[in-house]
Amino acid sequence: MRLWKDYVHRPERQLWHDYEWGNVHWYCCGDPLEARALLHTVMQAMSPRNARELRQVLSRFDAVWNQPSPPYDPSEG
């Protein structure tokens, strides 16, 4: 969950081509899109109550993902 949370809060997330598997950043740190897909699979295996709680937490991160990124300022990095 940390990987997805950190990714959706990065202001530069839309500058990367996430569909390109050749991006070496994911080799060391993990692919946040794969992490989100895994969380979906985990929810399917959980009890309904626990899955509902996890969905509630993830929905906040998903809401951030669906918002436009703020303008990226490289001087802030």
Q: How many DSSP H helices and E strands does the chain contain?
A: 4, 0
> Is residue 8 a part of any domain in this protein?
yes
Number of domains the chain contains: 1
pLDDT at 15 over 50: no
- 8 Å CB contact between 69 and 13: yes
> Is residue 77 a part of any domain in this protein?
no
> Is residue 76 a part of any domain in this protein?
no
- By three-state DSSP, how is residue 28 classified? helix
- 8 Å CB contact between 7 and 64: no
pLDDT band at residue 22 under the 50/70/90 scheme = low
> Is residue 73 a part of any domain in this protein?
no
> Is residue 18 a part of any domain in this protein?
yes
pLDDT band at residue 76 under the 50/70/90 scheme = low
pLDDT at 71 over 80: no
> Is residue 31 a part of any domain in this protein?
yes
Query: Mean of the pLDDT values across residues 8-20?
Result: 60
**What are the pLDDT digits (tens) for 26-69?**
566 677 788 888 889 999 999 999 999 999 998 888 888 776 65
Domain holding 28, by residue range, is: 2-68
Distance of CA 59 to CAs 4, 16, 37, 65, 73, Å?
A: 11, 23, 14, 10, 27
